[in-house]
Amino acid sequence: MRRNANTKAKVQADSEALALPELMFEELDGLLGYRLRRAQGAMHRDFMDTIADLELTQKQTACLWLINANPGVAQVSVAGALGMDRATMMAVTDRLEGRGLVIRKRSTVDRRRQELYLTPAGLTLLRKIKTRVAEHERRFKTLFKQGELEALLAALQKFQDRN
């Protein structure tokens, strides 16, 4: 208890110290890459708070989502769709399988293919996630007028289409 109180006091002191000298951000603040990273960081922190008690990463969540929308999807396709390399995708699938949320099945058509399916427990969890994500999305989408939001979504798409 005492330790907690100390930590709180320390955080308070730090943010006061921070308020004092205004940092010069120089060109940094005008950089698109920097703004994008900070925006993503802000939304990511809110997302993690939103699903903290479910003990899932953003990647695991996206996998559950894609597998549910594409039952029997190849592991390699999910990896590609989410921009993950083979090793990362393997680790994510291992974790989801270990928790009984996903099952892997070797394809009967092409034995090199691993097909992915949600278990009933996976589907139940995904439904819970979707409700939370909807609230999380609303918190950020309401920062923008409808036209602004559409322009932003289109602009973000251009970063991906460039590849």
Would you count residue 108 as binding its own copies (CB under 8 A)? Answer: no
Would you count residue 24 as binding its own copies (CB under 8 A)? Answer: yes
- Among the listed residues 8, 35, 106, 127, the single contact to its own copies using CB under 8 A: 35
Q: Which residues, including other chains, have CB under 8 Å from residue 67's CB and lie 6 or more apart? A: 73, 78, 102, 116, 117, 118, 122
Would you count residue 90 as binding its own copies (CB under 8 A)? Answer: no
**Using N-to-C axis directions, what is the helix angle for 120-141 and 32-50, rounded to 10°?**
130
- Among the listed residues 9, 57, 91, 159, the single contact to its own copies using CB under 8 A: 159
Would you count residue 69 as binding its own copies (CB under 8 A)? Answer: yes
- How many Cβ atoms sit within 10 Å of the Cβ of residue 82? 16
Identity at 123, one-letter amino acid code:
L
Would you count residue 65 as binding its own copies (CB under 8 A)? Answer: yes
- Among the listed residues 1, 4, 5, 26, the single contact to its own copies using CB under 8 A: 26
CB 59 to its own copies: min, Å: 9
